[in-house]
């Protein structure tokens, strides 16, 4: 598909300056009617290599597990995959972002105002991100400071097949940093446009994004090329990109207004501890005390390296 067609299909419909109020109003309604089910957590910090990883103990996953069980039962009965986004729950609807994307609340949220940027029509979560995806991301990031992330495939922590970016407001921590690995990223060593974070023992690629003065579509186009370059840097993209291209391997993507980070993934979990994109931002989720002790025994960076790939030292 040509860039011209991509641009025309991605016409933005979100009225600037309105999203944050819509998010708060929708959250209040969804809580009142029972559509939103926040997961209570207890938290503590586990420090390694100067990074204070935020570890959240998810104290009650019963509702989420029951919902997943019902999805699996429905799939077994019908022989078809259940898609929670087609149609989406009207009580979780926040706003129309564009002709191709809507903004929803995450039904089972740990972080307040956790958003999903979902394609209106079904697209596989393992398809490469495109111009419309990044236009939707920037439409939100221009409204407030946030961390966008994408779990590219089941091995990367994706729980639904329908393509959806996610976004949480910053800061995630209240210790002066917006997220636990922010200081580590500030020490990245650039070789051209791609950087390496010395303290990270796992394979990754980082690039700057300084696009706040650009229009949403200009920022989206630049971000798309940056995304391709990062995928190439970690060996997940070779040659030209065809329309509707499927990714060649699982990965996690994280982005703020200032940078984008990609980490290729090897497995979904380590010693029963599942890891998604937020783990690489320095926020880890565990289910019980046993998992906490495993995390403390091995250290967060070792856990992350074991679900990714060990950095190749030159």
Report the chain's mean pLDDT, rounded to a whole number: 90
| pLDDT higher than 80, residue 112 | yes
Name the H helices within the chain.
3-9, 19-33, 62-78, 131-141, 182-185, 216-233, 289-298, 300-307
The answer to whether the CB of 184 falls within 8 A of the CB of 51 is yes
pLDDT of residue 243: 64
DSSP string, 203-258: --EEEE---TTS-HHHHHHHHHHHHHHHHHHTTS--SPPPTTPBPSS-EEEEE-SS
| Residue 286, phi then psi, degrees to nearest 5 | -130, 160
pLDDT at 224: 97
Query: Which residues lie below 8 Å from residue 278, measured CB to CB, with a gap of 6+?
Result: 149, 168, 284, 285
Across 70-84, 152-166, 204-218, least confident range: 70-84
Residue 274 parent element (H or E):
strand 273-274
79-105 average pLDDT score: 90
Handedness of CA 231, 235, 236, 238 (dihedral sign): positive
Amino acid 3: pLDDT: 39
pLDDT at 152 > cutoff 80: yes
Task: Summarize pLDDT for 21-73 with one digit per residue, the tens.
Answer: 999 999 999 999 999 999 989 999 999 999 999 999 987 654 555 555 555 55
Decide if pLDDT at 175 tops 90. Answer: no
Match domain 40-88+128-307 to its CATH number in 3.40.50.1820, 3.30.930.10, 3.40.50.300, 3.30.428.70. Answer: 3.30.428.70
Q: Are 220 and 131 in contact (CB under 8 A)?
A: yes
Each domain of the chain, given as residue ranges in start order, spans: 40-88+128-307
């Amino acid at each position: 598909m040509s860039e011209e067609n991509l641009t025309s299909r991605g016409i933005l419909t979100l009225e600037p300056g309105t999203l944050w109020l819509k998010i708060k109003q929708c959250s209040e309604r969804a809580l009142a009617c029972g559509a939103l089910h926040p997961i209570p957590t207890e938290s503590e910090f586990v420090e390694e290599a100067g990074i204070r990883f935020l570890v959240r103990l998810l104290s009650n996953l019963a509702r989420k597990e029951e919902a997943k069980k019902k999805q699996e039962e429905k799939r077994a009965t019908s022989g078809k995959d259940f898609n929670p986004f087609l149609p989406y729950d009207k009580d979780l609807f926040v706003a129309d972002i564009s002709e191709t994307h809507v903004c929803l609340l995450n039904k089972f949220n740990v972080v307040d105002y956790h958003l999903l940027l979902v394609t209106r029509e079904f697209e596989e979560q393992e398809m490469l991100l495109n111009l419309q995806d990044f236009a939707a991301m920037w439409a939100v990031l221009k409204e407030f400071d946030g961390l966008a992330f994408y779990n590219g495939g089941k091995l990367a922590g994706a729980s639904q097949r329908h393509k959806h970016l996610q976004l949480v407001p910053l800061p995630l921590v209240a210790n002066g940093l917006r997220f636990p690995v922010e200081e580590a990223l500030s020490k990245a060593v650039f070789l051209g446009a791609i950087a390496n974070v010395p303290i990270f023992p796992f394979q990754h690629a980082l690039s700057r994004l300084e696009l706040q003065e650009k229009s949403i579509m200009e920022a989206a186009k630049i971000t798309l090329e940056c995304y391709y370059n990062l995928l190439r840097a970690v060996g997940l993209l070779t040659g030209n990109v065809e329309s509707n291209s499927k990714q060649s391997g699982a990965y996690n993507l994280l982005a703020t207004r200032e940078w984008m980070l990609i980490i290729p993934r090897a497995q979904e979990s380590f010693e029963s501890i599942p890891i998604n994109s937020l783990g690489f931002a320095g926020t880890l989720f565990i289910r019980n005390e046993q998992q906490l002790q495993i995390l403390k025994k091995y250290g967060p960076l070792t856990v992350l390296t074991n679900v990714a790939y060990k950095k190749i030292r030159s």
